[in-house]
Structure 1
Amino acid sequence: MNDSSWQQGWWCGARRAFSPNFSPRAPGEAVSLVVLHNISLPPFEYGSSAVEQLFTNRIDPDAHPFFSVIHELRVSSHFLITRAGEAVQFVSCDDMAYHAGVSSFQGREKCNAFSVGIELEGCDFEPFTDAQYRTLLPLLADLAQHYPITAVTGHQDIAPGRKTDPGHFFDWDTIEAAGLPVVR
């Protein structure tokens, strides 16, 4: 894919599921960072629609005990990549998704303001799938071609002590081998 892969911040390689949990970026704010995360809902379970429901404020608090704890969260990410490799986009990359929380990258606070968040369906305790990497690599390449990306990093690196994702099973060597600017 190339620059024509984008329509107003929406990547053509992803299915859209619109989240209300975003804000416009500040005027002139450039997207320069990609933050990689992992998520599974219920925890350590895959294949449900719960992540999409969480990011679109439709999660049923009665469907699982954990959901009663998180159902009032107003969070989002730009992308989710499922275990099967499907990319789902919730927020235009031209807008700010609520994925990083309290964070800092190279001395700059509030990473949501200048980053794109990509959630990988998974957890800290097992490897991600080949299908996920087959989707992630072209997405990262297209992001780097369309936006002035200077770094790809993990949530664990911008919120150390608070976050541990994407975890030690994430294959950073594959990202570096693709020529992407990994900073950890």
Structure 2
Amino acid sequence: MIRRSALCAALLLALAACQRGADDTPADAAPTGTAQATPGVDRAAAPSREQPTLRVDTLDGGVFDLADHRGRWVVVNFWATWCAPCLKEMPELSALDAMREHIQVVGLAYEEIEPDAMRAFLDERPVVYPIAILDPFAPPADFETPKGLPMTYLIAPDGRVAKQFLGPVTAEGIEAMIAEAGGPPVQA
């Protein structure tokens, strides 16, 4: 009973943040390097490790291991099927992953959903990046429990967390952050 109440409270908080991000943060807002000019960035919630680990089973039967992607920028995106801003950013994240060899995206579905239901959902909204379903009661240990969705982490090629975003992100914004941090410049 307590576990169910905790899940309901967490989902209500996530839903509130999901809606707040849709109203307060335009979907095309590009994140910037300063806290004041970065709508939707939650600097208080930081990953529990400077160089987090992440190893999850993906829907396609594979395994996504963050350590295997050292040398590339990795976008770790916590999302849910019921989150409108999450759904809006999926096509951009998919295009970013497909078009930029130096960037890898992974989607972490933060909800209770059966794999077959998720596969059916992704048949309607396909993406090219791997998707894993997380247990909302046991999120990855090296990442904070999302306080809202979408929650996105930008992991630098050395494995450290470069940025964290609460609310929707854009491909252009992510590329601008990478360029700011010394990565390849934004490509047209």
Bigger relative contact order, structure 1 or 2 (CA pairs below 8 A, ≥6 apart) = 2
**TM bin (shorter chain):** 0.3 to 0.5
Structure showing the higher helix proportion among its residues = 2
TM-score normalized by structure 1?
A: 0.32
